[in-house]
Structure 1
Amino acid sequence: MTLSAAMPPDLRSDQALLHYISSEDPQEAEALFAAARELRSSHYGQDVYFRGLIEFSNYCRNNCYYCGIRGGNPRVERYRLSLEEILRCCRLGDLLGYRTFVFQSGEDPWFTEGRIVEMVEAVRKEFPDHAITLSIGEWGRESYEHFFRAGANRYLLRHETASEEHYRKLHPREMSLRERKQCLWDLKDIGYQVGAGFMVGTPFQTPENLLEDLRFLQELEPHMVGIGPFIPQADTPFRDYPRGSFEQTLRMVALTRLLLPRALIPATTALGTISPLGREKGLMAGANVVMPNLSPKAVRKLYALYDHKICTGDEAAECRLCMEGRIRHFGFEPNMARGDMAGWEQRKVPANAG
């Protein structure tokens, strides 16, 4: 099969998608990346949107087999940021030019619905024009509506795998792919800009599983898609499994761009962790978002989803300036605006919301 940068491939057939998922032909990959870049450029030009990431708690009730902050890991030094510490991160981010904050945590029972609402309302009051993104796991629809009404705009919830059989191999029995997918549908119906996504190269994953991920994304039509390689963490059941393929991860980024032309796709920290130019190459494969860390430097190493995570020792200003310089070197333009998805129009929670 061949590709033209001016003409994205016909990906309507499962056979074609499986070919590009599995192909290790470097010339074919480069043509795929060129097609993805051209399509991204038609909607976003060369802009790369910056989001300020605040990892405010590494407590988690879940025991996902791949995650370093899983509740069953006794070796994690746990932390929670106070509301004032969270607001200090936001103030620093605002001074550095960020207009989107991403609040991420494990599913921490201490952060009840009321405390999340309090956090969102406090950030919204101080930063009325900024985008507020939550990445805090599975909740009921009513809670999502309350967060939205408090001022949250976006929600990230990776589905991790769209295959029921594969999902069961990555998670304990009490977790459910059906429930996770329902959360995504609820979030979208409420009016959030919704982010889904998956890891590439998790244990037991097949090319057919990755095909299911792409077809689920086409069905859901999320506004954001996070894709990163699986990286093992030493204190998890998957510690001895090999990490995901860098090249295959880039192909999945490109294929996602071709299937969802207007999606906001991060060049993830995980890509940068397994390759020195990983995030830059993610941008060259069709991504258009980066998320430098605004968390206090003292806690960054404690949010250890996987081993050898990069940028845990940088100051927030250093992290932003370094990333700006690197992406400009590759011909991209840093953009600190909110960076909503092309064509997006914010809407309010339904009047009958809980």
Structure 2
Amino acid sequence: MKTVTEIVNQQLFSAEDLRVLLTAKGRDRELLFAKAREVKESVTGKKVYFRGLVEFSNVCSKDCLYCGIRKSNGKVVRYNATDEEILEACRFAWEKRFGSVVLQSGELESKSFVQRVDKLVKKIKQLSNNELGITLSCGEQSQETYLRWFESGAHRYLLRIEASNRELYYKIHPDTPKHSFEKRVEALQFLREAGYQLGTGVMIGLPFQTSDDLVNDLLFFKKIDIDMCGMGPYIEHEHTPLYQFRHLLQPKMDRFHLALNMIAVLRLLMPDINIAAATALQAIDPAGREKALTVGANVIMPNLTPCEYRKEYLLYEDKPCLDEDAALCRNCLEARIELAGSEIGYDEWGDSKHFFSRQ
């Protein structure tokens, strides 16, 4: 059996290699993390790119079994930020030289929703003199909608698969046409065809999830040739159906360490993609996002959502930074990034190198 030292110095990785790395602990984990950091710095550099996150609505048509803003959760106070509030947050990002913003919401496919996002994308481009990069994370849409938003100025899209194993997918989603695994995968293909830098991701440490599932998630990312990834530890929410299976969960710190391993292994597997340091990491460890930056992540998302709405965009429990205004969040992250030995790529879109190498 190969050692971790042998595996991390390879260019190609088998499923068994990935399994060994994902389960690395102690000295082996340190070797994995050191190699991932080395690869990140040599391929994508020491810069960390800001994506100002605006969670503009928690209204959702989906009923995903893990999600706090699922349609059937009657305890959620629903909100829609106004266009003015959204654009003001984006203006802050532009003035503070963030380079990019992310517009994120619950999943809706209505004509009015599609038109609204289209209009917002155009206005963000206008207010920033075309200088702000735009990532969308607004769920499954038609091929026509994806193309429309792309032509209006969005150029990156995050659509998390959450679990690439179809059987596991239906343990965390209802088995209905509205929650089709095949449609989710098809949507990823639509995004690629529309011209977006393609992003997806999974939850790590789910009930029923095995190490083989996580290995296959990594191979799925490689197979569909993603440009960016957003993934983090699964954190349970008491007002969701999946909460009843919390007795099957690993301790939160174990899920945290597994998530760091996933980030490090993905950096070795796909050296030139963008990898986000998920906010969920900070929900478990106060320094979680900085730790992710030291093991392979190179994107971080300061929350620019107006404070009055943040507590209602709870996909999971213990979400951090609910009461920090945008300026405080920025200052905090600047300090954290410096402590992690990185620098901020101000005024840069920080696009995926992988995307352009494929072009």
Which residue number corresponds to residue 59 of structure 2? 59
The answer to whether the Cα contact below 8 Å between 2:7 and 2:17 also exists between their aligned partners in 1 is no
Query: Whose helix proportion is higher, 1 or 2?
Result: 2
Percentage of pairs with the same residue: 41
Work out which of the residue numbers 218, 222, 225 in structure 1 matches 2:226: 222
Which residue number corresponds to residue 317 of structure 1? 327
The answer to whether the Cα contact below 8 Å between 2:64 and 2:172 also exists between their aligned partners in 1 is yes
In structure 2, relative to structure 1, the CA distance for the partners of 1:60 and 1:35 (3 Å cut) is same
| Per-residue deviation, 1:2 | 2.9
Work out which of the residue numbers 267, 274, 279 in structure 2 matches 1:264: 274
Which residue number corresponds to residue 352 of structure 1? none
Which residue number corresponds to residue 120 of structure 2? 119
d(CA) in 1 for partners of 2:283, 2:255:
12
Residue 106, structure 1, aligned to residue 106, structure 2: yes
In structure 2, relative to structure 1, the CA distance for the partners of 1:235 and 1:119 (3 Å cut) is same
| Per-residue deviation, 1:183 | 0.8
The answer to whether the Cα contact below 8 Å between 2:4 and 2:21 also exists between their aligned partners in 1 is no
State the AA in 1 paired with 2:64: C
d(CA) in 2 for partners of 1:326, 1:98:
16
| Per-residue deviation, 1:5 | 9.6
- Deviation sequence 1:305-347 (CA, Å, 0-9, x none): 0001001110111111111111211211122221111264499
> How many pairs were matched up?
347
| Per-residue deviation, 1:124 | 1.7
d(CA) in 1 for partners of 2:208, 2:8:
34
The answer to whether the Cα contact below 8 Å between 2:307 and 2:325 also exists between their aligned partners in 1 is yes
**3-state secondary structure, aligned to 1:103:** strand
| Per-residue deviation, 1:186 | 1.3
d(CA) in 1 for partners of 2:357, 2:273:
16
Residue 208, structure 1, aligned to residue 216, structure 2: no
d(CA) in 2 for partners of 1:126, 1:95:
10
Residue 245, structure 1, aligned to residue 249, structure 2: no
d(CA) in 2 for partners of 1:10, 1:152:
33
- Deviation sequence 1:158-190 (CA, Å, 0-9, x none): 111110111010101121111111111111121
In structure 2, relative to structure 1, the CA distance for the partners of 1:313 and 1:320 (3 Å cut) is same
Residue 184, structure 1, aligned to residue 184, structure 2: no
**3-state secondary structure, aligned to 2:289:** helix
Which residue number corresponds to residue 199 of structure 1? 203
Residue 39, structure 1, aligned to residue 39, structure 2: yes
d(CA) in 2 for partners of 1:346, 1:102:
23
- Deviation sequence 1:220-256 (CA, Å, 0-9, x none): 1111111100000111012241356111111100111
Q: Which deviates more from structure 2 when the two are superposed, residues 7-16 or residues 160-169? A: 7-16
RMSD, matched Cα: 2.0
Which residue number corresponds to residue 291 of structure 2? 281
Which residue number corresponds to residue 339 of structure 1? 350
The answer to whether the Cα contact below 8 Å between 1:6 and 1:38 also exists between their aligned partners in 2 is no
| Per-residue deviation, 1:109 | 5.2
d(CA) in 1 for partners of 2:101, 2:160:
18
Which residue number corresponds to residue 157 of structure 2? 155
Q: TM-score, normalised by structure 2?
A: 0.92
Which residue number corresponds to residue 138 of structure 2? 136
d(CA) in 1 for partners of 2:47, 2:299:
9
d(CA) in 1 for partners of 2:166, 2:87:
39
The answer to whether the Cα contact below 8 Å between 2:227 and 2:354 also exists between their aligned partners in 1 is no
| Per-residue deviation, 1:3 | 3.5
| Per-residue deviation, 1:60 | 0.5
Residues 295-310 of structure 1: pairs in structure 2 closer than 5 A: 295-310=305-320
Q: TM-score, normalised by structure 1?
A: 0.93
Which residue number corresponds to residue 351 of structure 1? none
d(CA) in 1 for partners of 2:217, 2:286:
27
State the AA in 2 paired with 1:338: W
The answer to whether the Cα contact below 8 Å between 1:5 and 1:31 also exists between their aligned partners in 2 is no
| Per-residue deviation, 1:91 | 1.1
The answer to whether the Cα contact below 8 Å between 1:200 and 1:248 also exists between their aligned partners in 2 is yes
d(CA) in 2 for partners of 1:168, 1:126:
42
